[in-house]
Chains A and B, each alone.
Chain A
Amino acid sequence: MDKTHDNRAWFMVLPVFVLVAFSAVLPLMTVVNYAFNDTFGSNVFFWVGIEWFDDMLHSERMWGALKRQLIFSAVILAIEVPLGIAVAMCMPKRGVWASLCLVLVALPLLIPWNVVGTIWQVFARIDIGLLGYTLGQMGIDFNLGQNAAAAWVTVVVMDVWHWTSLIVLLSYAGLQSIPQAYYQAGRIDQASRWAVFRFIELPKLKGVLLIAILLRFMDSFMIYTEPFVVTGGGPGSTTTFLSIDLVKMALGQFDLGPAAAFSIMYFLVILLVSWAFYTVMVNLDREDMPK
């Protein structure tokens, strides 16, 4: 669709611009300010240049958190995307059941994140939780507080529980929009179920799947509340992801300089990845809509 070029459109965007600038740019400037200065309190700052960045780049703590974060994001994407597509294909297409399934599937997305944490913290306990108790009875040593593997499994399963629904709903919407003519063509060619999926459904889902993967990557990269409630980053620091470490540093120890430098690098990584995704998405859009 051709758009009219009109710079007066800026007036319509202005409220959004002002509002978001107020809540994004101003705080970001504070962070930048802290990142390059040191203070002995009472608001006296002196310039330290890139010292904090240098510190952080050589800190094992940050690299450790980054490594755990990347592994975590990779694991949950590898589980959630295929599972989400599979469940979306199992969803009934229309009728009361479809509505009911949609509502039930969306339910975990609407639970406050600390409650999600609480649910799984309780659910995985060996003494009062169904999951922990069952595993314990089966002779598996499953102790969130002491066993790093158990903590990881719980956090990953919790994230799958919480967020697979997002991918289900996106893929479901994508599947619904495929015209029946495509399937008929597939039947005429006697395509197998796999071929239908591979050559009709998957290409049509490309757009929504990109959004899904982008959102899931971003949100898993920023995950804070749920693992914080379930494991508190422990045992040791085995489930301390980037955000948890950052909050510990900034609000817990009040190491503002390093925390700010950390924030900026954290944000830059996210920005870089989103930019790559965004470029791919925009290009795909252009291919798909040559009207």
Chain B
Amino acid sequence: MSALSDTTAPRTRARRKTANGNGARSAVARGGMILYLLFLLVPIYWLMNMSFKPNPEILGAMTLWPQNPTLANYANIFNDPTWYMGYVHSLTYVVLNTAISVTVALPAAYAFSRYSFTGDKHLFFWLLTNRMAPPAVFALPFFQLYSSIGLFDTHIAVALAHCLFNVPLAVWILEGFMRGVPREIDETAFIDGYSWGRFFTRIFMPLISSGIGVAAFFCFMFSWVDLLLSRTLTSVNVKTIGVAMTRTSSATGLDYGTLAAAGVLTIIPGALVIWFVRNYIAKGFALGRV
């Protein structure tokens, strides 16, 4: 929050000075940045490269770009329900989980940021420990729990299981953002006769909308990237994309082209979502407390 004390005039002056004085240094920085981005992008490029090649070319020759570009691998996916339904299933539980996590986390984060109450610190720490619980520890008990209550192999089972790490995370991020909103706003609203519910939805939530966006983004992300729990909790009705990828690649004798195409398609939802929150993402990764 200390950035608020900064004024604009000295900042522009300082910027001009750095631009003139440190030409060589900024060139080094630019070079370093480009190298790092290359390191990040080359493996992804390789996957895309493979996804546009027919299988014989993948296995037969070392080519830096597709010699006979083809969309056949993508056509495989869009023509086969087990493939494209994998995306639908995965997105369903991810969206469900995001909605549940953010909804329950909002009032809780408000309580943590505004009130002290008996056991609040312990409760907060206990929540965080769940973010740090290894999913491997929970895989088997989750399987038994959801089987015994008849939720095994449903979207809601995976969505609830992912709440284990997403709810604590959402509370943590939202609490950080809410701390930045001055208490006077709450008090003024209550004096003006707002009920808590109306105040929260009409005034408070718009104020922390970027925080809500970031929290939702993180829930989406962690639910989307998990494979272990979603694979353990589903079998026939809900076949997630992760399962589709492991299964098909072994059944058809390593169909690398289709596997690569499926991989490329899994990157797209994340890339789209990230674009929407790009301006808040750095702060979001700091969990709202820079």
Contact = CB atoms under 8 A, between A and B. Distances in A.
A127 B58 CA distance: 9
Contacts of A218: 131-132
Contacts of A263: 134, 136-137
A24 B127 CA distance: 10
Most-contacted residue by chain B among A23, A208, A251 (CB, 10 A) = A23
A156 interface: no
Interface stretch (A13-21, A47-55, A138-146): A13-21
Contacts of A78: none
A176 B11 CA distance: 12
B36 A108 contact: no
B62 A87 contact: no
A113 B224 CA distance: 9
Contacts of A129: 46
B270 A110 contact: yes
Contacts of B62: 128, 133
- Do most interface residues of chain A lie in helix, strand or loop, or is the interface mixed? helix
B164 A105 contact: no
A1 interface: yes
B286 A266 contact: no
Nearest to A259: B140
B163 A19 contact: yes
Interface stretch (B25-33, B69-77, B202-210): B25-33
Contacts of A99: 278-279
Nearest to B116: A3
A106 B277 CA distance: 11
A225 B32 contact: no
Nearest to B106: A12
Given A119-B263, A173-B286, A270-B134, A4 B115 contact: yes
Given A5-B115, A176-B290, A266-B137, A108 B105 contact: no
Given A106-B274, A112-B241, A114-B245, A274 B111 contact: no
Contacts of B171: 16
B116 A5 contact: yes
Contacts of A107: 40, 44, 267, 270-271, 274
A222 B47 contact: no
A14 B135 CA distance: 24
B287 A211 contact: yes
Contacts of B88: none
A86 interface: yes
Contact of B160 (A22, A120, A173): A22
Nearest to B31: A90
Interface residues of B, number: 105
B117 A24 contact: no
Nearest to A91: B33
B263 A115 contact: yes
A28 interface: yes
A42 interface: no
A122 interface: yes
Interface in B211-233: 221, 224-228, 232
Contacts of B127: 16, 20
A87 B118 contact: no
Contacts of B141: 26-28, 30-31
B104 A16 contact: yes
B110 A166 contact: no
Interface string A206-246: 01100100000010011011000000000000000011101
B27 to A, nearest CB: 11
Contacts of B224: 110, 112
Nearest to B285: A169
Contacts of B40: 104-105, 107-108, 161, 165
B134 A266 contact: yes
Most-contacted residue by chain B among A12, A109, A120, A285 (CB, 10 A) = A12
Given A113-B227, A177-B2, A275-B125, A10 B137 contact: no
Q: Pick the 4 closest A-B CB pairs, nearest first.
A: A110-B270, A27-B141, A9-B115, A12-B111
Given A9-B116, A105-B37, 4 more contacts: A13-B108, A20-B130, A224-B228, A271-B132
